[in-house]
Amino acid sequence: MFAAADFPWWIAGGYAIELAVGRELRPHGDLDVLVLRRDQARVRDLLTDWDLYVADPPGMGRLRPWRSGETLQPPLHDIWCRRTPEAPWSVQLMLDEAEGTHWVSRRTPRIRLPIERLGRRSGTGIPYLAPEVQLYYKAKATREKDEADFEAVLPLLGEPQRMWLANAIAVTVPDHPWRQRLTPPDAHK
């Protein structure tokens, strides 16, 4: 579906972690895809035949149609997608911010990365969110599956990725237990 996209996009969520580790970790109910907010009109055009709903307001469990031509402004960032009104939800689109050549976390503009470092590519060329960025998002409200994702990908993170993640978590969830495991013991003094 996104192979024809002329804008950057990345598989996100649990599938991003699985693409990083190279194996399946658990079943999934849908596919998460991250796109930059500035590309939302192009996403809308790509999915013109789909049934699209925006979570409005975010986190409240309410959906409303994403109208053709509508530009979603912050804090709106989750779009639920299904092929037809009768089909199950199959894709969750997440809009994230960008300034020039940098990705900017929608949670706080203090967390950012060059867009070229936001993702990786699988051996078959599928773009996915860098595991440290995906874990940053999972750290906000950690669930059992997020802990499993952290355990699976932690051995694959190099020192720069561990430090970036530890620093990003320190900004938004300073007392998160993952920080202790990401940094050397002498860094906590």
pLDDT band at residue 189, thresholds of 50, 70 and 90? Answer: very low
Q: 31-36 and 91-99: which strand pairing?
A: parallel
Residue 187: is its pLDDT beyond 70?
no
Q: What is the pLDDT of residue 1?
A: 83
Q: What is the identity of the amino acid at 178?
A: W
Contact predicate 119/2, CB 8 Å: no
Q: What is the pLDDT of residue 186?
A: 59
Residue 1, C-beta contacts closer than 8 angstroms, at least 6 positions apart:
46, 47, 91
Q: What is the pLDDT of residue 118?
A: 97
Task: Render pLDDT for 14-33 as a digit per residue (tens, 0 to 9).
Answer: 999 999 999 999 999 899 99
pLDDT band at residue 185, thresholds of 50, 70 and 90? Answer: low
Using CB atoms within 10 Å of the CB of residue 187, give its burial: 0 to 12 exposed, 13 to 18 middle, 19+ buried: exposed
**% of the chain residues with pLDDT over 90:** 92
For 50-66, give the DSSP string: SEEEEESSTTTT-EEE-
Residues 165 and 130: their CA atoms lie apart, in Å, by 11
Query: 109-148 burial string, b = 16+ CB within 10 Å, else e?
Result: eebbbebeebbbeeeeebbbbbbbbbbbbbbeebeeebee
Task: Render pLDDT for 63-90 as a digit per residue (tens, 0 to 9).
Answer: 999 999 999 999 999 999 999 999 999 9
User: What are 109's two structure tokens?
Assistant: 């503009």
Q: What is the pLDDT of residue 181?
A: 93
Nearest alpha carbon to residue 64 among 50, 74, 79, 49: 79
Q: What is the pLDDT of residue 129?
A: 98
Q: What is the pLDDT of residue 82?
A: 97
Task: Render pLDDT for 124-176 as a digit per residue (tens, 0 to 9).
Answer: 999 999 999 999 999 998 999 999 999 999 999 999 999 999 999 999 999 99
